[in-house]
Amino acid sequence: MSAQIIVAAPDAAPSAIDALLAAGIRLIQAMQEAGGAPLATVSKIATWIGDPASYIILLAALMWCVNRRTAYRLALILVVSNALNIIIKNAVQLPRPYHQVSGLNLIEETGYSFPSGHSQNSAAFWLCAISALTGKKKYALLLLPLCIGLSRICLGLHYPTDVLAGWIAGSLIALVVLTVLPPLARFILLRAPILKEESVAQRMPLILAAAAALAFNGFSGGDTSMGGLLFGMVAARYVLEKKGLASKITAQEGRLAVKAARLGLGLVVLAGLYLGLRQVAPGAQSPHYTLFRFLRYALVGAWVTGGAPALFLRCGLSGTRQ
């Protein structure tokens, strides 16, 4: 079956697109033949680094043990990037390469192909993470998006054009976050002084998160995970601020053993929430599936940004500001 892109540029004939996709398949086959088992193993490791579970563990560690503010911002960037990727994939609906050549994929994967979510999310995440670091060695982190993207080609999960588009999309997201949003926010604050009032400033992120979650849910083809995650994260942070707990919690303070206890306890509960709720939630055939998926991811986001820090504070595991 020949893969067809449903949304294509007006000047791009279907035959030209098919030829481009066929060239991508030949490149995948050449890379797999040349690299063999060693390249496949390295590619699987690189892909795992770019998996959502890896980001969740990393962001939880940053949120609970390093810097809450930086981790929160990176988490928002990652969620928005992934939500946009899901929306684009559902609009384009390009089948993956192994739908044309059976057995081309070296691991199992679901969903559409264009653009590569691993490539897009890694570019957006690590480019923004680099901006928060100091020193020349930080630019070595640019190898991560490169390796993650290439791994998706080697494993036969994406066409090279999918990966290239993902890198471009992720870079554009990082560019907007780093260069456009800060001056835009300052401009809006100057034009609308009411936003500086504490009560309004606290509510505005929650209102924006609810609106964004609604938009994500409406255009994601029934995948409500990112909308739920975004709303849960922002709502939990709002509750912490409303109760006056946010100013008392800091991730930087505490001995290594205390931070390890935080991370261990937090991840155990996180795994229980995610896996446990998935077991009791209705399946994809249920009319309530999207609602329960939204709630499950909302609870996961709320735990990472609010529930866990509040529990650490209560248990004496959190470094606190007096």
Give the pLDDT score at 6. 39
pLDDT tens for 29-52 read 999 999 899 999 999 999 999 998
* 18-32, 68-82, 189-203, 214-228: least confident range: 189-203
Which CATH number fits the domain 13-191, given the four candidates 3.10.20, 1.20.144, 1.10.3470, 1.20.120? Answer: 1.20.144
Q: How confident is the model at residue 319 (pLDDT cuts 50, 70, 90)?
A: low
Q: How many residues does the chain have?
A: 322
Nearest one of 45, 48, 35, 18 to 161, comparing CA atoms = 18
The backbone torsions φ and ψ at residue 166, rounded to the nearest 5 degrees and listed phi first, read -65, -45
* 179-183, 241-245, 274-278: least confident range: 241-245
Give the pLDDT score at 199. 66
Instruction: Examine the pLDDT at 222 and tell me if it is beyond 70.
Output: yes
- Of residues 282 and 307, more confidence is placed in 307
Give the pLDDT score at 128. 94
Mean pLDDT of the chain: 87
Residue spans per domain, the chain: 13-191, 197-322
Instruction: Examine the pLDDT at 15 and tell me if it is beyond 90.
Output: no
Q: How confident is the model at residue 181 (pLDDT cuts 50, 70, 90)?
A: confident
Give the pLDDT score at 96. 94
pLDDT tens for 108-150 read 898 899 999 999 999 999 999 998 887 778 888 999 999 999 9
- pLDDT above 70 as % of the chain: 92
Instruction: Examine the pLDDT at 9 and tell me if it is beyond 60.
Output: no
Longest alpha-carbon distance in the chain:
67
The pTM score is 0.86
Instruction: Examine the pLDDT at 198 and tell me if it is beyond 80.
Output: no
